[in-house]
A and B are shown apart, each in its own frame.
Chain A
Amino acid sequence: GNSVTQMEGPVTLSEEAFLTINCTYTATGYPSLFWYVQYPGEGLQLLLKATKADDKGSNKGFEATYRKETTSFHLEKGSVQVSDSAVYFCALSRSGSARQLTFGSGTQLTVLP
C-alpha cells in the first residue's frame, strides 16, 4: 500500500538557519505529493504541492522537488523565521477517483530567535 516516511522530530533551529525535513514515499502509480503545515492552534493548511516527477513546489520561501528516482520530496527553506514554528506533514495522494491523503507522522519545528 501507500506510505510516507518523514524525518522524526522535534527539530529546533535558530532563526535564519537552513531547514531540511526529509520525506520519502512508497506508492503505486504516479502519486501527487504535498507538504501541509499546522501552526499552533490552527488547522492543517496546504504549504506546497507537486503533481509529477521533477516538479518543484514552492511557497513562503519553502521548496520541495518531486524526485521519482529516489521516491523523495524533501522540504527545504534557506532561512527560517520564528513564525515558521509549526508541525509539518508530508503527504501523498494516489491517482484515481478517491485521492485521499496518506500522511507522514509529522515533524515539529521550533525556531528560536
Chain B
Amino acid sequence: GAGVSQSPSNKVTEKGKDVELRCDPISGHTALYWYRQSLGQGLEFLIYFQGNSAPDKSGLPSDRFSAERTGGSVSTLTIQRTQQEDSAVYLCASSPMRGGAYNEQFFGPGTRLTVL
C-alpha cells in the first residue's frame, strides 16, 4: 500500500517568509509525528498527534512553528517568518498505535527546506 507522503519534496524560501509543509500519513494510522533533521542538531522530535487528543508540542523550537492535523489524517507544519537556522529536512512519520509495548513509526521521504 501507499506509504507516508510529503510535499513539497524541496522548498526554497527567503528569510522572513512563511512556509507550509504537508504530510499524508498511511491510511488508518492514528498517530502522526514531525521530526527535523539538520546538520547541527541531528534528528529532533517536533510534535506528535494521536487521535483526537491534544497534540504534544514539546519539541517545537519556537512559537514560529505550529502544526495542524485535520480530520485525523493530513497534517500541515507551518513555519512563520522563516530564519536561516530553520533550514533542514522535515520528516513526517505515522504509526498505527495498536497498543502494546511498541508501534512502528513509518517515515516519509521528507521535505528539504532551504532558507536563503
Q: Interface on A for B, CB 8 Å cutoff?
A: 32, 42-46, 49, 51-52, 89, 91, 93, 95, 97-106
Contact across chains for A43 and B110 when beta carbons are under 8 A apart:
yes
Determine the distance from Cα of A95 to Cα of B103 in the docked complex, in whole angstroms: 11
Contact across chains for A99 and B103 when beta carbons are under 8 A apart:
yes
How many chain B residues touch A (CB < 8 A): the figure is 24
B6 to chain A, nearest CB (A): 9
Is B65 among interface residues, defined by CB-CB distance under 8 A? no
Contact across chains for A51 and B108 when beta carbons are under 8 A apart:
no
Instruction: List chain A residues, Cβ under 8 A from B56.
Output: 98, 100
| Count of CB-CB pairs between chains A and B under 8 Å | 51
Q: A43 with B108: in contact, given A98-B48, A100-B56 (CB under 8 Å)? A: yes
Q: Which of B33, B101, B109 contacts A43 (CB 8 A)?
A: B109
Q: Which of A49, A51, A100 contacts B59 (CB 8 A)?
A: A100
Determine the distance from Cα of A104 to Cα of B37 in the docked complex, in whole angstroms: 11
Determine the distance from Cα of A89 to Cα of B42 in the docked complex, in whole angstroms: 10
Q: A101 with B105: in contact, given A43-B91, A43-B110 (CB under 8 Å)? A: yes
* Residue interface mask B28-52, A partner, CB < 8 A = 1: 0001010100000011110010100
Determine the distance from Cα of A44 to Cα of B31 in the docked complex, in whole angstroms: 17
A42 to chain B, nearest CB (A): 8
